[in-house]
Amino acid sequence: LVSRENHDSRTVVSVRGVPIGGDNMTVIAGPCAVETPEQTLEAARMALAGGASLLRGGAYKPRTSPYAFQGLGEQGLKILADVREETGMPIVTEVVDAADVELVASYADMLQVGTRNMQNFALLQAVGDAGKPVLLKRGMSATIEEWLMAAEYIAQRGNLDIVLCERGIRTFEKATRNTLDISAVPVAQNLSHLPVIVDPSHSGGKRDLVLPLSRAAIAVGADGIIVDVHPTPEEALCDGPQALLEGDLAELRDLSATLATLS
């Protein structure tokens, strides 16, 4: 279902009217985690200033450590909905458990499946049934074929509004959190009709790498990028070191403009 073979044209996924794929280039930005109404609104303002058309933000956080901030849950979803009301930005947010899909889908415009859940087949089927576009991150140890098979689980439920997201894979290299597999973008685009975007924040894990990796994503022909921004990263409850700062937004906006010119 997601293979390019039986599709003449590339899929364009509409997230509350914002297109991803085809001739469009889309920037998604926002905080890694929703922490407070003020922080989320300020991050949305930063995302807009950086040229983003969709707001990201996690209310349910899949953390490696059970002692780390796990997200605000439904309270975080309510904050996102309020910020959407205020800014007009549609929201992309992660769901980590099949049991929560209905609730998260009642707030979200796009459901994110994170790297750790790429092969959580019950979750994939549940998001496939939810009637919302899905952002499917590549498992950090998954082959491209496994990633596409995960997308197939969603598609099988009648939902072809799927965007693939390369977010770095595990390698022997320790200088970056994960290794951005830039070649996965054209490979997945050749194999599948689905849009493919890149997450330079979670792959590099460091602020200094986000804009260079974004440029690489644009150069390789990605359909968009998803980046973390935070008004006060030093106080962030999750992944502060990779969040772009106010001072980075002009360059992000230029990159977004480049994306628009290329489209």
Per-residue x/- track, 69-108, ligand PEP (CB under 6 A): -------------------------x--------------
Q: Residue 191: phi, psi to the nearest 5?
A: -85, -25
- Complete DSSP assignment for 174-231: -SSSSB--TTHHHHHHHHBSS-EEE-HHHHH-SHHHHHHHHHHHHHHT-SEEEEEB-S
* Binding residues with ligand PEP: total (CB under 6 A): 10
Shortest Å distance, C-beta 199 to ligand PEP? 6
Per-residue x/- track, 207-246, ligand PEP (CB under 6 A): ----------------------------------------
Q: Please, what is the end-to-end C-alpha distance for the chain in angstroms?
A: 26
Of the candidate residues 45, 84, 132, 167, the single one contacting ligand PEP (CB under 6 A):
167
Residues 138-157 that bind ligand PEP (CB under 6 A): none
Residue 115 to residue 87: CA distance in whole angstroms: 28
Per-residue x/- track, 2-31, ligand PEP (CB under 6 A): ------------------------------
Q: Note whether 193 binds ligand PEP by CB under 6 A.
A: no
Choice between 84 and 167, CB closer to ligand PEP = 167
Other Cβ atoms less than 10 A from the Cβ of 23: the count is 10
Residue whose C-alpha is closest to residue 252's, from 210, 217, 219: 210
**CA distances, 107 to each of 96, 240, 242 (Å):** 15, 25, 26
**CA distances, 133 to each of 15, 56, 194, 244 (Å):** 7, 14, 12, 26
Choice between 60 and 193, CB closer to ligand PEP = 60
Q: Of all residues in this chain, which one has the CB nearest to ligand PEP in the complex?
A: 114
Shortest Å distance, C-beta 147 to ligand PEP? 12
Task: Answer whether 188's CB lies under 8 Å from 148's CB.
Answer: yes
Shortest Å distance, C-beta 93 to ligand PEP? 9
Residues found near ligand PEP in the complex (CB under 6 A): 32, 58, 62, 94, 114-115, 137, 167, 199, 202
